[in-house]
Structure 1
Amino acid sequence: MVQRKSTLERAFELARESGCRDVEEVRRTLASEGYSGVEQHLAGHSIRKQIRATIATRL
């Protein structure tokens, strides 16, 4: 059985490896992939800041 990644693990993976250009795109992608509680997981200022920084290193 394959274990699904946590919401935060997947969010950072998307920030590193996908075409997502901002936190909102990461949120939308997570929701479309069926992750629940996305808003709560990405609500913190420091999490959003880390995701933005991760995206910036890729761009």
Structure 2
Amino acid sequence: MTRANMSEPDTLRIPVDVLSDIEAIADATERSRSYIIVRAGGIGYMNGNGSPRKSTR
């Protein structure tokens, strides 16, 4: 049985100051930049920022 591909590569332009913050968080948490970006994007999505679903809070 093969495992479904749960992600897809993409290119993203990030302002250097934001990237610097992402790198600092990644270093402090010993995680990759990709991990931090995916988690931050998920939090924004779940909070209704840019999502068709709005937060109920």
| Alignment TM-score, normalising by the size of structure 2 | 0.26
Which has the higher relative contact order, 1 or 2, with Cα contacts under 8 A spaced 6 or more apart?
1
